[in-house]
């Protein structure tokens, strides 16, 4: 990912929102549109804690995996003015 001519792509919060909205495991959570990392994490973690059935636990784990992938994308490709 580095070398002559390499240009790092920069994504926006709108880009993350679009990506998240296309992931079925995250479609119904707050924080997808408009993008809010904190709200999304809160809802996903609540789903993991509240899951009672095998299907609920599986869905919560899929959402957790998806948000972890989005976090990696966020860290690598979103410019934060901090």
The answer to the question of residue 2 being in a domain is: no
Q: pLDDT at position 82, please? A: 53
The answer to the question of residue 7 being in a domain is: no
Diameter of the chain measured on Cα atoms: 52
Asked whether the whole model's pTM tops 0.75, one would answer: yes
The answer to the question of residue 6 being in a domain is: no
Q: pLDDT at position 36, please? A: 93
Range of the domain at 20: 13-77
DSSP 8-state code for residue 78: B
Walk along the chain (82 residues) and give the pLDDT tens digit of each residue. Answer: 566 665 667 899 899 999 999 999 998 899 999 999 999 999 999 999 999 999 999 999 999 999 999 999 988 888 776 5
The answer to the question of residue 58 being in a domain is: yes
Domain total in the chain: 1
The answer to the question of residue 82 being in a domain is: no
Per the structure block, which two tokens stand in for 13? 């919060």
Angle (nearest 5°) at CA 26 between 65 and 74: 60
The answer to the question of residue 56 being in a domain is: yes
Q: pLDDT at position 20, please? A: 94
């Amino acid at each position: 990912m580095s070398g002559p001519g390499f240009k790092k792509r920069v994504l926006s919060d709108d880009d993350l929102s679009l990506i998240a909205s296309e992931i079925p495991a995250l479609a119904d959570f707050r924080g997808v549109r408009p993008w809010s990392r904190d709200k999304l994490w809160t809802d996903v973690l609540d789903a993991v804690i509240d899951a009672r059935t095998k299907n609920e636990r599986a869905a919560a784990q899929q959402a957790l995996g998806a948000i972890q992938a989005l976090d990696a994308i966020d860290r690598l490709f979103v410019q934060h003015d901090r």
